[in-house]
C-alpha cells in the first residue's frame, strides 16, 4: 500500500480518520476525543437514518456509561430483561433472564430504534470533540509508513473530491467492509450462510409483565424468527433463513414474509392482528470475517471486520466493544509507536475472542440438540447461568465461564450422539 513518495514532511491533519458513523465509528471517535486525540468521522449518510440491529445486550451498558449516554439511550429504549425461545408444536417458551447470569451486575439491556440510537452516539462523539462530516463518502485510501490518506467526496455531488490524512485510519464502515473489500481480505463464513427479511409491525402482543421487553426467538424448519418490542406499539419482526428458502419466493418480499409466518404456528398466532408499518427489507449472505484486523496504519472495528449471525443480538455490542478496545490500542500506538505491532496483535486477539464466544453457539443453533438444550435449560452446575452470561455479552474473559461451558459442550455432544443413534430427545422440525 505504501511508497516512499507518500511520506510527507508536514504532519498529518488528524490523529485518526474514522470511516463510518455507526455505533463502532461513533464510539471509537468519542473515546479517542475524550483522550485528547484529533478524530474525524466521515459518514456517507445523514443521521437519523434507518438501520437494522435493534436489540442490545447488558454488556453494552457499561460502554454507554463510559460514553456518558446511558440516560439518553434509556429515554429512547425499551427495557430488555432477557430473551425467550420457542419451537413449533409447543405453546410454551423458555426465558433466559439476564438477572440470572453468573455475574449479573447489569441485569438488563435495551431495544432501540437504530435511527435514534445511532444519532445519539454520533452527536455524542461530536460533543466530546470529534469532528463529524456527514454526507461525505470515502472513495479510496492508501497508506504510508507515517500516515493513511483517504479520498472523500460529498454525497450530494456538490463539491470536489479531496484528500485528507491521519496517523491512523479506522474502518468502521459496517457491512460495506470498505478496507477489507478493497484489499481482498474479506472471507465469507462457509459455516454460516443465511439471509434475512424484516419489517416493523403494529398490533403484535407483547409478553406479559416483566417479560414485555424481551426479544422472542422462534425456530422453524428453514431458520428462525425474531420479535423485538420497540416503543409506540411497534414490533420489529424478522426472519433469518437459508438463502435457498429465500430463493423459493415468487411474490413480493412483504407477501413472502407474511406467508412465512404461517410456517411457524406460534409466530402466526402472535402476528394474527399485525399490520406492517414500513417497507419489507432484506439482507443477504451475511457472515464473514476479514483475514486480519489491522495493517500498515489502519485497523477495523465492528462489522467492517466481521459479521456473525444476529440470533444472539451481538452485533452492536461487538461493534462498540471492539471500538473501546480499538480506542485504547490506537491511543497507545500514537503515544508509543514502537509498540504498535504488539498492541494491534493484542487488539486482534481480544476481538476474536469475543466473536468466538458467540460463534460456537451460533454454528450449532439449528441443530436439534442445541434446540433441546435451550428449550430444557439445566439449572445444575450453573449451566444455564453460564449460557445466560454469554447471551449477556460476557464473552471477553471478565467472568470465568469455561468450566461450565465445557460441561455444556459435553452435554450438547451427548444429546447429539443420542439423537444420531435415534434414541435422543431432539427432533428435526420438518
Ligand atoms: C438482519 C440483521 C439483524 C440484526 N439484528 C441485530 C440485533 O438485534 N442486535 C444487534 O446488536 N445487532 C444486530 N445486527 C447487527 C448490527 O446491525 C451491526 O452489527 C451493527 O450495526 C454494526 O455497527 P457498525 O458501526 O460496525 O456498522 P454500521 O452500523 O453498519 O455503520 C456503518 C456506517 O458506515 C457508513 N459507511 C459505509 N461505507 C462508508 C463510506 N465509504 N464512507 C462513509 N461512510 C460509510 C454507513 O453509512 C454506516 O452509517 C443485525 C444485522 C442484520 C443484518
Question: What does the pLDDT look like over 99-156, one tens digit per residue?
Answer: 999 999 999 999 999 999 999 999 999 999 999 999 999 999 999 999 999 999 999 8
Q: Which atom in ligand 1 lies closest to the alpha carbon of residue 45?
A: 47
Question: Is the pLDDT at 379 greater than 90, yes or no?
Answer: no
Nearest CA to ligand 1 atom 7: 53
Nearest CA to ligand 1 atom 39: 173
Q: Which atom in ligand 1 lies closest to the alpha carbon of residue 137?
A: 42
For residue 17, which phi and psi values (nearest 5 degrees)?
A: -110, 130
Q: Ligand 1 centre and the CA of 174: distance in Å? A: 5
User: What cell numbers appear for 408 in the block?
Assistant: 455444556
DSSP of 318-371: HHHHHHHHHHHHHHHHHH-GGGHHHHHHHHHHHHHHHHHHHHHHHHTTTSHHHH
CA–CA gap between residue 362 and residue 197 (Å, rounded):
19
Q: Which atom in ligand 1 lies closest to the alpha carbon of residue 20?
A: 34
CA–CA gap between residue 152 and residue 158 (Å, rounded):
12
Q: Which atom in ligand 1 lies closest to the alpha carbon of residue 136?
A: 43
Question: Is the pLDDT at 193 greater than 80, yes or no?
Answer: no
Q: pLDDT band for position 7 (50/70/90)?
A: low
Domains of the chain by range and CATH? 4-75+113-189+287-358 (3.50.50.60), 193-283 (3.30.9.100), 366-420 (no CATH)
More confident residue, 8 or 226: 226
Q: Which atom in ligand 1 lies closest to the alpha carbon of residue 198?
A: 1
Question: Is the pLDDT at 270 greater than 60, yes or no?
Answer: yes
Q: pLDDT at position 3, please?
A: 46
Question: What does the pLDDT look like over 36-71, one tens digit per residue?
Answer: 999 999 999 999 999 999 999 999 999 999 999 999
Q: pLDDT band for position 190 (50/70/90)?
A: confident
Q: Ligand 1 centre and the CA of 309: distance in Å? A: 13
Nearest CA to ligand 1 atom 18: 315
- The pTM of this model reads 0.95
Q: pLDDT at position 382, please?
A: 85
| CA contacts within 13 A on the Cβ side of 294 | 24
Q: pLDDT at position 275, please?
A: 97
Question: What does the pLDDT look like over 298-326, one tens digit per residue?
Answer: 999 999 999 999 999 999 999 999 999 99
427: nearest Cα among 364, 361, 363, 366: 366
Q: Ligand 1 centre and the CA of 198: distance in Å? A: 15
CA–CA gap between residue 21 and residue 47 (Å, rounded):
9
- With a Cβ cut-off of 6 Å, ligand 1 is lined by 19-25, 42-45, 51-56, 137-138, 172-176, 178, 196, 198, 238, 283, 286, 302-304, 310, 313-317, 319
Q: pLDDT at position 285, please?
A: 67
406: exposed, middle or buried (C-beta count within 10 Å: 0-12, 13-18, 19+)?
A: exposed
Q: Ligand 1 centre and the CA of 90: distance in Å? A: 34
CA distances from 334 to 4, 27, 54, 311 (A): 21, 18, 34, 37
Q: pLDDT at position 8, please?
A: 56
CA–CA gap between residue 153 and residue 161 (Å, rounded):
4
Question: Is the pLDDT at 4 greater than 50, yes or no?
Answer: no
Q: Ligand 1 centre and the CA of 306: distance in Å? A: 11
Question: Is the pLDDT at 414 greater than 80, yes or no?
Answer: yes
Q: pLDDT band for position 159 (50/70/90)?
A: confident
Question: Is the pLDDT at 5 greater than 90, yes or no?
Answer: no
Q: Ligand 1 centre and the CA of 51: distance in Å? A: 7
Task: Provide the CA 165 distance to its chain's centre, in angstroms.
Answer: 29
Q: pLDDT at position 156, please?
A: 85
216-241 mean pLDDT: 96
Rounded mean pLDDT of the chain? Answer: 94
327-344 mean pLDDT: 98
Nearest CA to ligand 1 atom 45: 20
Q: Ligand 1 centre and the CA of 307: distance in Å? A: 9
Percentage, residues of the chain above pLDDT 70: 97
Question: What does the pLDDT look like over 200-211, one tens digit per residue?
Answer: 999 999 999 999
78-106 mean pLDDT: 94
Q: pLDDT band for position 9 (50/70/90)?
A: low
Q: Ligand 1 centre and the CA of 165: distance in Å? A: 24
Q: pLDDT band for position 367 (50/70/90)?
A: very high
Q: Ligand 1 centre and the CA of 156: distance in Å? A: 22
Question: Is the pLDDT at 11 greater than 90, yes or no?
Answer: no
Amino acid at each position: 500500500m505504501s511508497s516512499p513518495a507518500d511520506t510527507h514532511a508536514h504532519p498529518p491533519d488528524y490523529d485518526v480518520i474514522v470511516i463510518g458513523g455507526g455505533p463502532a465509528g461513533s464510539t471509537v471517535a468519542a473515546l479517542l476525543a475524550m483522550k485528547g486525540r484529533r478524530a474525524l468521522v466521515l459518514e456517507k449518510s445523514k443521521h437519523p437514518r434507518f438501520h437494522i440491529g435493534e436489540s442490545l445486550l447488558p454488556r453494552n451498558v457499561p460502554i454507554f456509561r463510559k460514553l456518558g449516554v446511558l440516560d439518553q439511550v434509556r429515554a429512547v429504549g425499551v427495557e430488555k430483561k432477557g430473551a425467550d425461545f420457542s419451537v413449533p408444536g409447543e405453546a410454551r417458551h423458555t426465558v433466559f433472564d439476564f438477572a440470572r447470569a453468573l455475574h449479573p451486575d447489569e441485569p438488563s439491556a435495551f431495544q432501540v430504534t437504530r435511527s435514534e440510537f445511532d444519532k445519539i452516539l454520533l452527536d455524542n462523539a461530536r460533543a466530546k470533540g470529534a469532528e463529524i462530516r456527514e454526507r461525505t463518502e470515502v472513495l479510496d485510501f492508501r497508506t504510508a509508513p507515517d500516515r493513511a490518506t483517504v479520498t472523500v467526496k460529498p454525497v450530494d455531488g456538490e463539491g470536489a473530491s479531496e484528500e485528507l490524512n491521519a496517523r491512523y485510519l479506522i474502518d468502521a464502515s459496517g457491512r460495506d467492509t470498505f478496507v477489507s473489500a478493497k484489499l481482498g481480505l474479506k472471507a465469507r463464513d462457509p459455516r454460516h450462510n443465511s439471509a434475512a427479511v424484516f419489517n416493523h409491525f403494529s398490533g403484535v402482543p407483547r409478553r406479559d409483565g416483566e417479560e414485555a421487553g424481551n426479544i422472542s426467538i422462534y425456530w422453524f424448519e428453514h431458520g428462525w424468527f425474531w420479535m423485538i418490542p420497540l416503543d409506540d406499539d411497534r414490533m420489529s419482526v424478522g426472519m433469518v433463513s437459508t438463502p435457498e428458502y429465500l430463493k423459493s419466493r415468487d411474490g413480493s418480499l412483504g407477501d413472502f414474509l407474511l406467508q412465512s409466518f404461517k410456517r411457524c404456528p406460534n409466530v402466526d398466532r402472535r402476528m394474527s392482528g399485525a399490520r406492517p408499518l414500513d417497507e419489507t427489507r432484506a439482507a443477504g449472505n451475511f457472515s464473514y470475517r476479514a483475514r486480519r484486523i489491522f495493517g500498515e496504519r489502519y485497523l477495523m472495528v465492528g462489522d467492517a471486520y466481521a459479521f456473525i449471525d444476529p440470533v444472539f443480538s451481538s452485533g452492536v455490542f461487538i461493534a462498540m466493544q471492539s471500538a473501546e478496545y480499538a480506542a485504547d490500542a490506537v491511543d497507545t500506538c500514537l503515544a508509543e509507536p514502537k509498540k504498535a505491532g504488539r498492541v494491534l496483535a493484542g487488539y486482534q486477539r481480544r476481538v476474536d475472542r469475543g466473536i468466538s464466544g458467540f460463534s460456537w453457539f451460533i454454528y450449532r443453533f439449528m441443530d436439534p440438540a442445541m434446540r433441546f438444550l435451550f428449550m430444557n435449560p439445566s439449572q445444575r452446575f450453573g449451566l444455564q447461568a453460564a449460557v445466560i452470561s454469554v447471551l449477556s455479552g460476557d464473552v471477553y474473559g471478565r467472568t470465568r465461564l469455561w468450566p461450565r461451558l465445557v460441561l455444556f459442550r459435553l452435554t450438547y455432544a451427548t444429546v447429539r450422539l443420542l439423537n444420531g443413534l435415534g434414541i435422543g430427545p431432539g427432533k428435526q422440525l420438518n
